Amino acid sequence: MKTVIVAGLMVLGLASCATYNLNDGERLALYQAHAGAPVLRIDYRTPIGWTRVDDQHVALDMRPSERWLLTLSGPCLRWDSGAQALVLEPIGGMVLSKFDLVRTPGSGVSCRIEEIRPIDVQGFRVAEQALIDKR
């Protein structure tokens, strides 16, 4: 089993994405509004970053135009630790829903990925900017 760490490149996602100013419910609604149908697996390449959506959802950025919404099995990640990395444990170059796990370093608890949904990144960014402009 190969363990891969998605490191502090989260800053890239946060710099280009003001969703961190939204509350968890608003942030999740924005992601879900731009998420496609669930898929069983995605090809795994080294991600460029990740964003905490809420305690049970993570947005995983594989490329600037490729983002996935991962629904986790529960609020089992220790977000309060301020972890700058997310550990994925994919097998065979793919991330599989209902099988693969994620965790933050320093946490002894892993969460199973329950669902993987593609995000319409362009549509997401337009809607996000509209929310920012309203504020």
Ordered mean pLDDT values, 10 residues apiece, the chain (135 residues): 47 43 88 98 89 90 95 72 74 88 79 96 94 81
At 17 the pLDDT is 47
Q: What is the pLDDT of residue 72?
A: 93
* Helical spans, DSSP H, in the chain: 10-15, 24-33, 121-134
Assigned domain for 97 exists: yes
Amino acid identity, residue 7? A
pLDDT in the model for residue 110: 84
Number of Cβ atoms within 10 Å of the Cβ of 32: 14
135 within some domain? no
Its pTM stands at 0.81
**Per-residue pLDDT, 125:** 94
Q: 95: domain range?
A: 4-130
Question: What tokens were used for 122?
Answer: 């362009």
Domain count, the chain: 1
In 41-110 the beta strands, taken as DSSP E runs, fall at: 41-43, 49-54, 57-63, 66-72, 86-88, 94-96, 101-103
Question: Residues with Cβ < 8 Å from 40, sequence gap 6 or more?
Answer: 96, 97, 98, 116
Domain assignment of residue 80, yes or no? yes
Q: CB–CB of 128/30 below 8 Å?
A: yes
Asked whether the beta carbons of 50 and 66 are under 8 A apart, the reply is no
Q: What is the pLDDT of residue 79?
A: 53
pLDDT for 91:
77
**Confidence (pLDDT) at 4:** 52
Residue 125 DSSP symbol = H
**pLDDT at residue 11 in the model:** 37
Q: What's the distance, Cα to Cα, between the start and end of the chain in Å?
A: 45
